[in-house]
Chain A
């Protein structure tokens, strides 16, 4: 998939690009609004990651421009402004998602995946994890066709780990994904440990879960072939 990263902070743009390249994306960079505007006019992108705080452009105008040219690229807004009306305006203009800086790269990845599933109608939304099947569309996990009852938060946690499989996710990243930025201050690593413990307990009743690994001193990982 082709991604355009519109971000005036060069080192951040480079980090995002290097992360996404490792995930198999083709990335192009635009450091100014003008540059971005030209690139959108010429090339076809599946995704545009758009920083709203551009020095020469109101980022939101780029969405309108792209739409007027018939582009159906998915826009994900990334911004440090984080003002409430920015979010509302962006989504009104047809942005597909909104991410406040600073965000975790794995969070960005899971958002891109979610938008891709929605936008490009990817039908095969079932993932095999050990003896279990995670059904992304209906948001449930089954064992031999039978649903395993876990809470919404537990499911979110598990899905996040599975989408970012084979990567260690820190407790911070997991916490942030589930509880968002607003409760940052209350961060308590214990929260994640308790939830993982509960997930393991519920799944282990059906089948062992060696794929759900604890990585000492860092966090958790779902290891899949």
Chain B
């Protein structure tokens, strides 16, 4: 999972936890707040009533006609005010919840009780607010708060996501740079632009590290190239000397056979040095890659070259190649060698009466070439070391240095072609070459 997603998920999760906590405590909190609000309201109303009485006196409310009681409520019975002349031993000033009966209906109210004296008489003022109306307000507040909460979480989650994306963009770029390289020399050395110093350090460290690795690789390749050159000159001398001896007319047949054997050995040495040189050159990209050609033509050419050998060995070499696949930006003679080595190998490893099939087709957006034989197949171990330069377990005749497939592999890498191998022991082997999509 990407770091960005992980961070955003963590943020979301932590917010959800806080929200849950809040939801647990919210009813209690809102109750408290609401109660305080209601009580303040009642006290305010009490002040208003007291102010009114001190202005107009008690008479407009209470006379002997009204039986010393005044009462008023609104039609939905949400609130009421009552005034009563009573005898009280103690002053009353408190708020309580009590049930009142209004027009035969029992309703729970929060009631403020307040006693005061006018003209030597004690009056009790009661101001009530029905609990159901209080609960209703509470419910509304809860709804609004919940909606607001959800909204906030959503908004902050989205902004978090956006922000972390922006914040982590340099890291993404660095990851992409690393993913894209098959070779240290192809690493993009342009620094990633960022204001985050950690990423800056990371990027710099990577650039330096890869430059260093690249240098080492280059050195190793240079050494290979130089050693190869140094080896080729003495081989050259030796070869000319032996060849000059071989063409002498009066030479004994026994000796000429020995000379020929020496030349053969020398030729193997030469082949080995040249192969190493070839791989080193391909890997240090000394070959041009600017030709365009039809792959079917190359395959056809290879097949017609190897076919006489296959026929002689009693092997059916068959081609089923798709037409009109043009490979651009490639090196034809390298691609020729790449396929040639594999086809030749397949023919060599197939017993008499067997079959080698060279096939090409389009799969999804890729052009694919497969070379299958009905040979002896390989074990997993053999398959794993197939493309290594010098295989330890060689099952070939002395002529093959086992480097041919390593050459094919480096040519494939050079052209961005993917090679895969499917093999079943005693049944056969299939090599697949998947060409890059935009070729």
* Alpha-carbon gap, A102 to B271, bound state (A): 10
Most chain A CB inside 10 Å of its own CB: which residue of B268, B281, B304, B305? B305
* Alpha-carbon gap, A29 to B229, bound state (A): 22
Number of interface residues of A (CB under 8 A): 48
Beyond A184-B275, A188-B348, is A218–B236 a contact (Cβ under 8 Å)? no
Q: Chain B interface: which of A114-122, A123-131, A134-142, A167-175?
A: A167-175
Query: Which residues of the other chain, B, contact A219 by a CB distance below 8 angstroms?
Result: 260
Who on chain B is nearest to A107 by CB? B243
* Alpha-carbon gap, A12 to B333, bound state (A): 30
**Contact: B244 with A19, CB < 8 Å?**
yes
Can you identify 30 A-B contacts, CB atoms within 8 angstroms? A9-B237, A12-B240, A80-B229, A80-B233, A82-B277, A84-B281, A101-B232, A105-B243, A153-B305, A168-B247, A168-B256, A170-B246, A170-B260, A170-B263, A172-B267, A183-B337, A183-B341, A184-B274, A185-B272, A185-B275, A185-B401, A185-B404, A188-B309, A188-B344, A191-B309, A194-B308, A194-B309, A195-B308, A217-B253, A218-B246
* Alpha-carbon gap, A4 to B37, bound state (A): 116
* Alpha-carbon gap, A218 to B255, bound state (A): 11
Residues 268 to 285 of chain B near chain A (Cβ within 8 Å) = 268, 270-272, 274-275, 277-278, 281
B399 at the interface (CB under 8 A from A): yes
The residue that A12 contacts in the complex, of B236, B304, B305, B309, with Cβ under 8 A, is B236
A83 at the interface (CB under 8 A from B): yes
B241 at the interface (CB under 8 A from A): yes
A204 at the interface (CB under 8 A from B): no
**A residues apposed to B, CB below 8 Å:** 9, 11-12, 15-16, 18-19, 22, 53, 80-85, 101-106, 151, 153, 167-168, 170, 172-173, 176, 181-191, 194-195, 197-198, 216-219
Please, what's the 1-or-0 string for B222-255, where 1 marks a CB less than 8 Å from any CB in chain A? 0000000100110111011101101100000100
* Alpha-carbon gap, A83 to B400, bound state (A): 25
The residue that A185 contacts in the complex, of B236, B253, B287, B403, with Cβ under 8 A, is B403
Which 9 interchain pairs have the tightest Cβ spacing? A184-B271, A15-B240, A102-B236, A217-B257, A80-B232, A101-B236, A194-B312, A172-B267, A218-B260
Interchain nearest-CB distance for A181 vs B (Å): 6
**Contact: B247 with A185, CB < 8 Å?**
no
* Alpha-carbon gap, A197 to B313, bound state (A): 13
**Contact: B341 with A186, CB < 8 Å?**
yes
* Alpha-carbon gap, A188 to B309, bound state (A): 10
**Contact: A102 with B239, CB < 8 Å?**
yes
* Alpha-carbon gap, A19 to B245, bound state (A): 10
**Contact: A11 with B271, CB < 8 Å?**
no
**Contact: B271 with A170, CB < 8 Å?**
no
Interchain nearest-CB distance for A55 vs B (Å): 12
* Alpha-carbon gap, A181 to B278, bound state (A): 10
Query: Which residues of the other chain, A, contact B313 by a CB distance below 8 angstroms?
Result: 190
**Contact: B340 with A84, CB < 8 Å?**
no
Most chain B CB inside 10 Å of its own CB: which residue of A18, A80, A186, A188? A186
Most chain B CB inside 10 Å of its own CB: which residue of A84, A172, A191, A216? A172
Interface residues on B, range: 35 or more
* Alpha-carbon gap, A17 to B275, bound state (A): 29
Query: Which residues of the other chain, A, contact B308 by a CB distance below 8 angstroms?
Result: 151, 194-195, 198
**Contact: A15 with B241, CB < 8 Å?**
yes
B264 at the interface (CB under 8 A from A): yes
Residues 288 to 323 of chain B near chain A (Cβ within 8 Å) = 288, 304-305, 308-309, 312-313
Beyond A104-B243, A182-B278, A194-B308, is A172–B263 a contact (Cβ under 8 Å)? yes
* Alpha-carbon gap, A168 to B246, bound state (A): 8
B54 at the interface (CB under 8 A from A): no
Query: Which residues of the other chain, B, contact A12 by a CB distance below 8 angstroms?
Result: 233, 236-237, 240
Residues 190 to 245 of chain B near chain A (Cβ within 8 Å) = 229, 232-233, 235-237, 239-241, 243-244
**Contact: B337 with A182, CB < 8 Å?**
yes
B407 at the interface (CB under 8 A from A): yes
**Contact: A15 with B233, CB < 8 Å?**
no
**Contact: A102 with B278, CB < 8 Å?**
no
B286 at the interface (CB under 8 A from A): yes
Query: Which residues of the other chain, B, contact A188 by a CB distance below 8 angstroms?
Result: 309, 344, 348, 399
Query: Which residues of the other chain, A, contact B253 by a CB distance below 8 angstroms?
Result: 216-217
Who on chain B is nearest to A101 by CB? B236
Who on chain A is nearest to B241 by CB? A15
Interchain nearest-CB distance for A100 vs B (Å): 8
**Contact: A80 with B239, CB < 8 Å?**
no
* Alpha-carbon gap, A184 to B244, bound state (A): 22
Who on chain B is nearest to A19 by CB? B244
Query: Which residues of the other chain, A, contact B304 by a CB distance below 8 angstroms?
Result: 151
The residue that A102 contacts in the complex, of B235, B256, B277, with Cβ under 8 A, is B235
* Alpha-carbon gap, A110 to B431, bound state (A): 38
Interchain nearest-CB distance for A191 vs B (Å): 6
Query: Which residues of the other chain, A, contact B287 by a CB distance below 8 angstroms?
Result: 84
